């Protein structure tokens, strides 16, 4: 029995439904492992299907094709190292989330996931059956335990594997990003290592899928809790680990320890990766957006250029008579700083034509928000026309504060196919703009330096749909609004919790009212990058019709 074991970890980016493409990635990783002399090449959870499949995996033709692809991989990868890969499994009519071990042309082991997550973005209890907790499998004489993702968050599976002879733990994951999640993973996996006394390798997917971002960050921990490997966040990669067995068991030879960025960089990289993958995986190559001279569209334009390159981003300025000249100058300066195309499309003439058309029906009424929203909807119409004509996906630019309280016009500025800022509060938008002006990374396609003019960051936010309009004419100051929303949305707190935190009760009740009556808008809104555990969509599912209010 050898005292050395070589493991190749493939932190790769599958596409949901691209079974053939995902299988080809697996073959390439296996070939890299074979060249490196690996005993086992490991891919993450549900890699063959991509993740998170949602109800697609329930379709018999789909999961049968995925299982057949795994069987074909076993044949293709017969002459070389074992291959570990996640995918669906059938036992009778029951469907499981499984991890397969392929060796010598056969499926030599199959682990079935036991703990099924049924919270935040996951509904695995409605998709899969819970598998039994079994012992380890063997590769080249070494006994390996593989708790699948959620199984590693609990003590029982890992302890059972240790008690039944596992010599180390390999944990395949499809774990999506939320802010500071890597620290949570480290803490939990160190606990499993301390409980079992075994080395542990945590292998994660990377890449964007709809609103979710799988952030990679694969790592390995030795007995005692020492970090032996840390792969980068948000980036694909293949790492080769060497393990040695001594008198006290197996230990992992120390590998590269990638630096872990701060939360602002993680969020920004997540937005860039999510947009890049959303475009690539849906078949788009170019985007456009309405550039107002405000801070939200400025950040979206910057994210788009960093994700796709300036040559693939079109900025469109659509001024009305209420648009300040300074807004146009700032918008143009931003577009020029980024190096992307910008077009100038005034809407005053079109707005007047619509106003004239509606005049007989509006006779005897006073102008109100209706007329303001006509401007926003006309902009949406023009931007969608450009999108249709040139095949460029329209990005929408509303931040989480606006999305929460409905400070956006449905079928107007909410029009679009993707929203990078959907889970970022306004106060954090300001912080992120300052961060990007001071930082640049190799994964950014945009230029170095202060790309967002300081005046855009400093100016009071305004929708510019009426004379001298400011956001704070309609909303509490953003510091107050965001503080209340963090309690009501992110913490699922109450009006009493808001008051206890120092906020005015009337402000809290008003924000709660706006939050609930805007549900119908969010139901029809574009997907956007998930940055927190309480993003709008799968994390927080509320009825559109809802008469309840917190009376405390």
DSSP reduced 3-state for 446: coil
- Closest C-alpha among 398, 431, 390 to residue 529: 398
Contact 157, 192 (CB under 8 A): no
| Residue 120 half-sphere exposure toward CB, CA atoms < 13 A | 17
CA distances from 141 to 9, 34, 284 (A): 19, 18, 47
Cis-peptide into 52, omega within 30 deg: yes
Segment 255-264 long-range contacts (CB within 8 Å, at least 24 positions apart): 255/220, 255/228, 255/229, 256/229, 256/230, 256/231, 257/227, 257/229, 257/230, 258/230, 258/231, 258/232, 258/233, 260/182, 260/217, 260/230, 260/233, 261/233, 263/179, 263/180, 264/431, 264/432, 264/435
- Closest C-alpha among 404, 405, 386, 406 to residue 394: 386
DSSP per residue, 311-342: GGEEEEE---TTS-HHHHHHHHHHHHHHT-EE
- Closest C-alpha among 265, 212, 218, 267 to residue 241: 218
Catalytic residue among 77, 103, 124, 149: 149
DSSP label of 257: B
Distance, CA of 469 to CA of 377 (rounded, Å): 18
CA distances from 468 to 367, 471, 488, 514 (A): 16, 10, 31, 23
Distance, CA of 351 to CA of 412 (rounded, Å): 13
DSSP reduced 3-state for 110: strand
Catalytic residue among 45, 167, 392, 464: 45
| Residue 113 falls in the annotated catalytic set | yes
- Closest C-alpha among 342, 233, 229 to residue 290: 342
Longest dimension (CA), the chain: 92
Catalytic residue among 113, 281, 286, 426: 113
For residue 389, which phi and psi values (nearest 5 degrees)?
Answer: -65, -40
Tokens of 419: 């929203």
Known catalytic residues are 45, 113, 149
């Amino acid at each position: 029995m050898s005292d050395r074991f070589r493991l190749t970890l493939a932190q790769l980016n599958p596409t949901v439904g691209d079974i053939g493409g995902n299988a080809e990635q697996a073959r390439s990783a296996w070939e890299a492992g074979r060249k490196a002399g690996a005993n086992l090449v490991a891919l993450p959870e549900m890699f063959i299907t991509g993740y998170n499949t949602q109800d697609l995996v329930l379709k018999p033709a789909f999961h049968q094709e995925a299982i057949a692809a795994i069987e074909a991989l076993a044949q293709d990868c017969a002459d070389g190292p074992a291959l570990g890969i996640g995918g669906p499994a059938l036992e009778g009519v029951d469907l499981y989330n499984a991890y397969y071990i392929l060796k010598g042309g056969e499926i030599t082991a199959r682990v079935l996931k036991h703990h099924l997550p049924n919270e935040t973005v996951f509904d695995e209890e409605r998709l899969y059956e819970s598998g039994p907790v079994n012992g380890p499998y063997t590769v080249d004489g070494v006994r390996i335990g593989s708790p699948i993702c959620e199984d590693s968050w609990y003590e029982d599976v890992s302890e059972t594997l240790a008690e039944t002879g596992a010599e180390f733990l390999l944990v395949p994951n499809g774990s999506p990003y939320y802010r500071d999640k890597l620290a949570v993973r480290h803490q939990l996996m160190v606990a499993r290592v301390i409980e079992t006394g075994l080395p542990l390798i945590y292998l994660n997917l990377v890449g964007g899928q709809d609103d979710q971002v799988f952030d990679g960050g694969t790592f390995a921990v030795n007995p005692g809790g020492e970090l032996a490997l840390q792969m980068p966040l948000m980036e694909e990669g293949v790492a080769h680990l060497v393990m040695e067995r001594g008198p006290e068991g197996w230990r992992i030879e120390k590998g590269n320890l990638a630096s872990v960025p701060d939360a602002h960089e993680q969020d920004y990289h997540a937005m860039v990766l999510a947009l890049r993958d959303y475009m690539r995986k849906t078949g788009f190559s170019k985007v456009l957006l309405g550039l107002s001279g405000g801070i939200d569209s400025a950040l979206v334009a910057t994210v788009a250029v960093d994700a796709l390159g300036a040559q693939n981003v079109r900025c469109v300025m659509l001024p009305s008579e209420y648009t300040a000249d300074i807004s146009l100058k700032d918008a143009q300066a931003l577009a020029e700083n980024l190096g992307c195309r910008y077009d100038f499309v005034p809407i005053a003439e079109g707005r007047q034509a619509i106003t004239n058309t509606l005049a007989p029906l509006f006779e005897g009424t006073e102008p109100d928000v209706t007329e303001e929203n006509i401007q926003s909807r006309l902009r949406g119409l023009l931007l969608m026309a450009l999108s249709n004509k040139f095949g460029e996906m329209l990005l929408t630019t509303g931040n989480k504060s606006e999305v929460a309280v409905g400070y956006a016009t449905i079928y107007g500025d909410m029009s679009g196919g993707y929203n990078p800022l959907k889970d970022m509060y306004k106060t954090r938008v300001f912080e992120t703009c300052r961060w990007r002006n001071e930082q640049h990374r190799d994964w950014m396609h945009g230029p170095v330096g202060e790309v967002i003019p300081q005046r855009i960051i400093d100016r009071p936010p305004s929708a510019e749909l009426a004379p001298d309009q400011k956001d704070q004419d309609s909303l509490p100051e953003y510091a107050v609004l965001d503080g209340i929303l963090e309690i009501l949305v992110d913490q699922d707190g109450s009006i009493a919790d808001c008051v206890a935190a120092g906020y005015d009760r009337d402000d809290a009740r008003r924000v709660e009212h706006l939050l609930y009556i805007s549900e119908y808008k969010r139901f029809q809104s574009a997907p956007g990058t998930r940055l927190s555990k309480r993003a709008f969509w799968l994390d927080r599912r509320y009825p559109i019709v809802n008469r309840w209010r917190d009376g405390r």
